[in-house]
Amino acid sequence: MNILLLGYGKMGRTIEQIALERGHQIVGRIDVNNRHELDTLANDAVDAVIEFSTPDSVVGNLTYCFERGWPVVCGTTGWLNERPAIETLCREKNGAFFYASNYSIGVNLFFRLNKTLAQFMHQYPSYQVSMTEIHHTEKKDSPSGTAITLAEGIMANLPGKTRWQEQAEGVAEADEAVMIESIREGKVPGTHTVRYESEVDRIEISHVAHSRQGFALGAVVAAEWVAGRQGIFGMDDLLGM
């Protein structure tokens, strides 16, 4: 399969390594310095695009891909207020768009566990839910897309929680909000903890990533899956959830 990489930072390089190991060809490695090279690729030269760029670039990248008829697997976070318009464009162009805030199989199992726990905790209002996410200092968006997905899973299953709110100095906690603490330190690939705390005890579930390998493998598998399809997809489709 011919894969185009849009975004060629640390994640892009890890994706490239895994794609090559799985027998695929990389037909382009595009970042802000060589974006003009996109125009040299024929429409039929690309079977799937894997897009891990920046919040400032992602909408333009996705729009370009749909215009060219290329299926896209996207893992860029920090732009989701524009996602409805992008999905509309994808449908208008009969394209394929696969989005996940996190491509790790383990994280997606964690998403399901998070939703199930929220359903259980609905019966015990003495527990207050909150979350902490930790990432490397180079991560540009805050809170992480994974944390937002976790918060959305809580909100869908825990009545009374209607929005998420980033914890910040001087900002009062709101009863209707899922509070998210974001920490940036070292080279942490990603740690997410959801906690329910009462006066007498605390319940926590956590996912700790040891490397980028799990994220990259999931993105390549998603590209293999989405090639030749039309529509809007996510990890639940890929995993049969």
Which residue in 36, 122, 139, 192 is the catalytic one? 139
Q: Same domain for 97 and 40?
A: yes
Does this model's pTM top 0.95? My answer is no
Q: State residue 63's pLDDT score.
A: 97
For the stretch 14-26, pLDDT in tens is: 999 999 999 999 9
Residue 207 is a catalytic residue:
no
Q: Name the catalytic one among 115, 122, 135, 187.
A: 135
Q: What percent of the chain has pLDDT over 70?
A: 98
**How many domains, in total, are found in the chain?**
2
Question: Is the pLDDT score of 140 beyond 90?
Answer: no
Are residues 232 and 194 located together in one domain of the fold? no
pLDDT value, residue 138: 84
Phi, psi of 56 (to 5 degrees): -75, -25
207 is annotated as contributing to ligand binding: no
What CATH number does residue 154 fall under?
Answer: 3.30.360.10
**CB distance 140 to 182 below 8 Å:** no
Is 172 found in the same domain as 83?
no
- Residue 201 and residue 110 share a domain: yes
State the pLDDT at residue 142: 87
pLDDT at 102: 87
User: Is 137 annotated as ligand-binding?
Assistant: no
CATH number at 28 reads 3.40.50.720
pLDDT greater than 70 at residue 154:
yes
- Compute the distance between CA of residue 7 and CA of residue 56 in angstroms, rounded to an integer: 12
* Same domain, residue pair 98 and 217: yes
In this prediction, residue 168 carries a pLDDT of: 76
Residue 139 appears among annotated catalytic residues: yes
User: How confident is the model at residue 241, as a pLDDT?
Assistant: 63
State pLDDT tens for residues 51-73.
Answer: 999 999 999 999 999 999 999 99
Q: Give the range of the structural domain holding residue 55, as residue numbers without chain letter.
A: 2-103+213-239
Residue of 206, 205, 208, 148 lying closest to 178 (CA atoms): 148
Known binding residue 182? Answer is no
153 plus 220 within the same structural domain: no
Asked if residue 146 belongs to a known ligand binding site, the reply is: yes
Statement: residue 170 has pLDDT above 70: no
Whether residues 195 and 230 fall in one domain? no
Q: Does the annotation place 102 within a ligand binding site?
A: yes
